[in-house]
């Protein structure tokens, strides 16, 4: 059953208040997280979301500075890095100078292959 459309005003600092009927129907409570996605037609789709920390605990107390870590893209990159470590796909360097020299040689090799 679809509910009636609600009008929401965008306030200072682009904040909005979800009407009680919307909050109740969606099961959204103060402190909950929502995902926001802009659709092709320019409409905005809000969905309830629960952020989960790496240890599986709820992220209710997580600061906004840490939220990026729990995005699907970041988690995929973390998994790839873990796999690289587990399979030995990395190099160790004695000094920072050695690391920089390796990066520069890889950059040179990449430039040569593009030419």
Average pLDDT over residues 94-112: 88
44 contacts 37 by C-beta, under 8 angstroms = yes
Q: How far is CA 82 from CA 16, 72, 87, 89, 107, in A?
A: 39, 15, 9, 10, 24
Phi (first) and psi of residue 77, to 5 degrees:
-65, -40
Average pLDDT over residues 2-22: 89
Q: Per-residue pLDDT tens for 46-100?
A: 888 877 666 555 555 455 566 677 778 888 899 999 999 999 999 999 999 999 9
Q: What is the pTM of this model?
A: 0.42
Q: For the chain, which domains are there?
A: 1-49 (2.10.260.10), 54-115 (no CATH)
For the cut 90, the answer to whether the pLDDT of residue 103 exceeds it is yes
């Amino acid at each position: 059953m679809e509910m009636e459309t609600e009008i929401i005003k965008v306030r200072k600092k682009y904040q909005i208040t979800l009407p009680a009927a919307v909050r109740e129907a969606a099961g959204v409570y103060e402190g909950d997280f929502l995902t926001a996605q802009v659709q092709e037609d320019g409409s905005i789709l809000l969905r309830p979301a629960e952020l989960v920390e790496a240890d599986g605990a709820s992220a209710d107390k997580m600061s906004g500075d840490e939220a990026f870590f729990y995005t699907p893209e970041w988690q995929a990159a973390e998994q790839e890095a873990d796999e690289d470590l587990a399979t030995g796909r990395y190099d160790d360097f004695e000094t920072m100078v050695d690391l920089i020299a390796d990066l520069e040689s890889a950059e040179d090799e990449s430039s040569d292959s593009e030419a």
